[in-house]
């Protein structure tokens, strides 16, 4: 799910399409002009794959840096980082294999120089994916108690500080709420937490001030999968 959440997604189908066209290039009796056209097209694709491969490599390095430099508290964030690192490594290896097939079949000895995205851009893209994936689970009510939610918020704040390379000088919950408002665009609702009286953020079933659970999500009907939001601790 993490890899599908943005520009890194959808590579499996693309790889299958590439291999299908390589097979056509090898098997069909086509004109030299068409072969040259396909060769130029695959040279461009090889450049795109090289850029993508470099991005995966940098992103995996950043994930390893988070694990090594930050004291991650929640099992959820630890698992998410571990899954993402494996996905990035697997995608990197898949691209290496595909590029090898392309170079072999089209006799590419070397490819022109490419301009890679800066590490800062990759770090911010990675941050957005991590926070959006966490937000998805918050919307689903995946964190069953206050201590778990508190630890997830603390980990997210630590990752925001690390990947943005800023201290911000504020509490974990304030920084997380600020990021959700500034970057994700979440707004406060008219509902207030019954425990502390602070406004609740839209789509989040928890209070970011006192960490109390604010919304409980239940499935209304197993057949159609519609969700019924049962509110509790809400004014």
Q: Which of 91, 122, 153 is the last residue of a domain?
A: 122
- What total of structural domains would you count in the chain? 2
Q: Are residues 34 and 111 in the same domain?
A: yes
CA angle (146 as vertex; 142, 151 as ends), nearest 5:
80
Examine the fold and report which residue of 95, 122, 149 is the final residue of a domain before the chain moves on: 122
Helix (H, G, I), strand (E, B) or coil at 201: strand
Say yes or no: 9 and 105 in one domain. yes
Where in the sequence is the domain holding 202, given as residue range(s)? 129-231
Q: Are 56 and 141 contained in the same domain?
A: no
Same domain, 45 and 107: yes
From 90, 122, 154, the end of a domain falls on 122
C-alpha 84 chain-centroid distance: 8
Residues 66 and 25 in one domain: yes
Judge if 33 and 54 occupy the same domain. yes
Q: Which pTM was predicted? A: 0.77
Distance (Å, whole) CA 97 – CA 89: 13
> Are residues 209 and 140 part of one domain?
yes
Statement to judge: residues 139 and 216 lie in one domain: yes
113, 138: one domain: no
| Beta strands at 199-201 and 227-231: parallel, antiparallel or unpaired | unpaired
Termini Cα distance of the chain: 34
User: Which 3 state secondary structure label does DSSP give 231?
Assistant: strand
Digit-by-digit pLDDT tens for the chain (235 residues) are 454 433 444 455 566 666 666 666 655 555 566 667 777 788 888 888 888 889 999 999 999 999 998 899 999 999 999 999 999 999 899 888 888 888 777 777 666 677 778 899 999 999 999 999 999 888 887 887 889 999 999 999 999 999 999 888 999 999 999 999 998 888 888 888 888 888 888 878 888 999 887 654 433 334 444 443 444 544 4
Are residues 111 and 169 located together in one domain of the fold?
no
Q: Are residues 178 and 83 in the same domain?
A: no
- The two structure tokens encoding residue 42: 């695959």
Together in a domain, 173 and 195? yes
| 114 vs 116: CA distance, rounded Å | 6
- Compute and round to an integer the Cα radius of gyration of the chain: 23
């Amino acid at each position: 799910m993490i890899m599908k959440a943005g520009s890194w997604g959808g590579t499996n189908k693309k790889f299958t399409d590439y291999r299908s066209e390589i097979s056509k290039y090898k098997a069909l009796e086509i004109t030299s002009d068409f072969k040259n056209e396909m060769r130029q097209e695959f040279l461009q694709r090889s450049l795109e794959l090289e850029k993508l491969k470099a991005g995966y490599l940098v992103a995996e390095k950043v994930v390893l840096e988070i694990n090594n430099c930050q004291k991650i508290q929640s099992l959820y964030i630890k698992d998410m980082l571990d899954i993402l690192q494996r996905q990035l490594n697997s995608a990197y290896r898949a691209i290496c294999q595909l590029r090898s097939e392309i170079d072999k079949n089209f006799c590419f000895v070397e490819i022109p120089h490419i301009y890679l995205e800066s590490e800062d851009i990759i770090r911010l893209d990675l941050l957005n994916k991590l926070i959006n994936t966490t937000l998805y689970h918050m919307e689903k009510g995946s964190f069953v108690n206050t201590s778990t939610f508190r630890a997830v918020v603390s980990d997210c704040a630590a990752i925001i500080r690390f990947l943005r390379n800023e201290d911000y000088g504020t509490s974990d919950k304030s920084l997380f709420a600020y990021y959700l408002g500034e970057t994700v665009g979440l707004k406060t609702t008219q509902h207030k937490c019954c425990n502390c009286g602070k406004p609740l953020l839209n789509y989040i079933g928890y209070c970011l001030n006192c960490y109390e659970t604010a919304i409980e999500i239940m499935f209304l009907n197993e057949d159609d999968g519609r969700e019924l939001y049962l509110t509790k601790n809400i004014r």
